[in-house]
Chain A
Amino acid sequence: MDHISPVFWQFLVKWMTDFALFPPEASKIAPQMDALFFFMVLVSLIGLTIVILLVTSFSILYSKKRHPIAVQIEGSTLLEATWTIIPLGLFLIMFVWGALIYFRVYTPPANAMNIYVVGKQWMWKAEHPGGQHEINSLHVPTGRAVQLTLISQDVFHSFSIPAFRIKREAIPGRYTTVWFEPTTPGTYHLFCTQYCGTSHSAMIGDIVVMTPEDFKKWQQESTSGMSLAQNGERLFSSLSCNACHNGRPDSRGPSLANVYGSKLTLTSGQSATADEAYLRESILNPSEHVTQGYAPIMPTYQGQINEDGVIALVEYIKNLSSNYRVEQTLNTTGLLPEGEGTPAAVKQQPAGKTPAGQGTVKQ
């Protein structure tokens, strides 16, 4: 083998041993999407074969040598109708089939476990409700619907997991969601697929799919000791949100207990549902979202908290079912340290002792 260049040899060996043609199917939606994909491949191959066969056989049969005089033909309405209606029919099948899958991918089931993901130049940060933080990786269990709520801190990013066949844009200033149910344990690629600047191609990571038991173990080992909602509670008091949103009869801001999911009437007369996007907007842009009966006195928190902080607050408000804890923390505000996003620096002083059912946190 001396006469073969080593580079070429390496190339051949690699080709034989490490050659992927199709990505693994590791989520529940993947085989469904692949079924449609292969249907489309089949239709395309048949279409392409028909065109190639016709062109080749006409070229042979009617070459100038064999067929010196052309026969002029005007056209044929029947044929025109055929090649209008058949492709249209096939495309419509693909449209309907595709739309069914699209709705499935972007409509999370009610019982899905929610993980927040923040994209920023150039990393992915995942926040589990249990307080686990991850950078450029995401641990998820098999057999459980996992919903991702995505947002970008700066430019457009796109969260893509080819093995799950899902992808969702992370957009600045807006939550987007996607969900999946992993089926096969393993480590899969995570890519940012929307061009986002210098290190776009380094904004990659690992999706680690684990069995439910392993995942439980991982959750316990990697928790920061404070859940996301508890983190939000700390922020809630350090930003003095509780000075107004404390649920007292004379409070200057509306009570936030059970506000999540409720229908609100605004001073503008419009009604709004208090979902994640609404909560986020009313923190960052409060003057546009004043609940009826209250004065527009809330200052904006734009620039004071980053998206991670907003997520913690949103998660806290989502899980707030009574004002008991808000009142409690009201007295301890001064004792809490400033800043957020570094939960390790904070001793879990009020959180750990929270009595169950007192309206803080669902783990």
Chain B
Amino acid sequence: MSSTIVSLPDQSTARIPKTNFITKENGILSWLLTGDHKRIAILYLISITFFFFIGGALAGLIRLELLTPQSDLMATDTYNKVFTMHGVVMIFLFLVPSVPATLGNFLIPIMIGAKDLALPKVNLLSWYLYIIGGILVLYTMISGGVDTGWTFTTPLSTHYVNTNVLSTGLAVFIAGFSSIFTGLNFIVTIHKMRAPGMTWFRMPLFVWAHYAASILMVLGTPVLAIAIVLVALERTIGIGVFDPTKGGDPLLFQHLFWFYSHPAVYIMILPGMGVISEVISTFSRKRVFGYTAVAFSSVAIAVFGFFVWEHHMFIMGVSSYSMLVFSLLTMLVAVPSAIKIFNWTFTLYKGSITFETPMLYAFGFMGLFTIGGLTGVFLGTSGTDIHLTETYFIVAHFHFVMVGGMLMAFLSGIHFWWPKITGRMYPEKISQLAALVTFIGFNFTFFPQFILGVLGMPRRYAAYPPEFQILNVFSTAGATILGVGYLLPILYLTWSLKYGEIAGNNPWQATGLEWQIQSPPLTENFIELPVMDHDAYDYEWLERQKEKEVTSVG
């Protein structure tokens, strides 16, 4: 018995199907004016990869500066701009759109048996908005940067810095609409365009996770837009909403900002969780353990996620009684994440597990996300939050969740669906190596930061006391390894576009509807309207299908 489930067509005879969504039309305009959700997903994939490498280069600069205790590589102002741009680029231009706008865009219509998203033109518009936001961010960077931190804290952002707050604010505002449109499109599509027989509880968990994230995008992002408009008005005409000398309240900004930005964390992580559900099920050949529990835990995260924002402000003189409420709700939102982790673990139980690259990334996700989630509880607990907040502990915590969690899930998903998107396999061995390098590099980079945080090293410091140097050196060394881990996939995935093995329809023997059609898919996705007559992750149904094919061919 072999230790892989990969089943590829005979390479000597196999061909990529002549008609597919890539070859359907030619020319740059056919891409820039397309309404096809798959092409828009590819546009997004290229653009977010571009911004990921810009954000990554900025992260590299941060780690280089922190190699020594003094602020010697750059002036403190430059350092402040670098970490601000790193945050803005990574959060608004990479993490928020990463899985939903690429994999979600590509897969959600196919997974529910639809031809496209409900509003294809709005989908294209959302990509253009994203690009305008991105160009504005690049403009900001070239014209001198901004140094407010990605949190735009007032009154620093409104009265005390002379940098490009307005262009950055506008960029975030516009990129925010791109994410609102994506969310809206998903909600409408999932409600109205499911194929016959595709009931809510037959949908893949990937779709459930995106549905929950979409609700957060649509309800949360407008509040961020309001907060940014108020900052702009305060900065330009001094309306005084956040200015105590005019009777305003500087804390109000943080309430508005975190009302979006805490749910935004779940916007970023929920789609990643969706990827993990698909991958774990496929590579253990088993239905996801406790399907309904996992589906509802996504919804629970979305609902509770809206009512925990004040835990970012426990030390800021908020009422102690409201602290009690928000701390308690934060504990509640931690539970659904624990439920997911245990359900994925028990999906492995009595499965038939293989260890292809997507699965390795998924294992990485489970380990790192567990650490990221548990350290979140340290910050949700009001007592320990006093000591740990605003230090490197918080930096490490959200990098474990966002990079260790979301980026691992993104890479897992990209490898998993790469054969579907491109029709070709990625090279397996070097990909497994990249997954391992990423995991090791990640822990090396961010684990020392937990210790730094406990020691009290504040975040956003260009210079620090010399006794913190050793741990910072470790962290920078780890970042170098991590950098290699991220460069490898871009190289070998590009290589595989031309030289990868032909994948065939269903290289993983997976059950999702997307695997029952050709790779890359047709523009219309399906030749005939699919009818869903089985549950998601029904591997016995898949076996029966295969037998049928064999008998009919025989």
Contact = CB atoms under 8 A, between A and B. Distances in A.
A202 B351 contact: no
A196 B156 contact: yes
> Binding site of A, secondary structure by majority: helix, strand, loop or mixed?
mixed
Given A75-B289, A194-B390, A201-B71, A37 B461 contact: no
Contacts, number: 300
Contacts of A64: 1-5, 352-354
Given A23-B456, A64-B5, A67-B352, A155 B153 contact: yes
Contact of A105 (B161, B386, B456): B386
Interface residues on A, range: 35 or more
Given A80-B339, A98-B384, A201-B464, A88 B331 contact: yes
Interface stretch (B22-30, B222-230, B313-321, B492-500): B313-321
| Interface-centre pick from B286, B315, B355, B370 (highest chain A CB count, 10 A) | B315
B386 A156 contact: no
A70 B316 contact: no
A150 B476 CA distance: 36
A326 to B, nearest CB: 28
A99 B451 contact: no
Contacts of B386: 33, 101-102, 105, 165-167
A11 B473 contact: yes
Q: From DSSP, what is the main secondary structure of chain B's interface residues?
A: helix
Interface string B365-406: 011001100110110111111110111000000000000000
A18 B331 contact: no
Contacts of A103: 320
A62 B348 contact: yes
Contact of B463 (A62, A162, A196, A202): A202
A81 B161 CA distance: 52
B554 interface: no
Given A18-B470, A83-B342, A167-B386, A47 B374 contact: yes
Interface in A8-48: 11, 14-15, 18-23, 33, 36-37, 40, 43-44, 47-48
B250 A58 contact: no
Contacts of B389: 167, 193
19 contacts: A11-B470, A21-B455, A44-B371, A47-B370, A48-B374, A70-B285, A70-B286, A80-B290, A88-B335, A95-B327, A95-B328, A106-B320, A155-B155, A166-B387, A169-B315, A171-B317, A195-B153, A201-B462, A201-B463
Interface of A: 11, 14-15, 18-23, 33, 36-37, 40, 43-44, 47-48, 51-52, 54-55, 58-59, 62-65, 67-76, 79-80, 83-84, 87-88, 91-92, 94-95, 97-103, 105-106, 121, 154-156, 158, 160, 162-163, 165-169, 171-174, 176, 189, 191-202, 204, 284-285, 302-303
The 10 closest A-B pairs by CB, nearest first: A162-B456, A173-B244, A101-B383, A98-B381, A98-B383, A193-B390, A75-B290, A102-B382, A58-B348, A201-B461
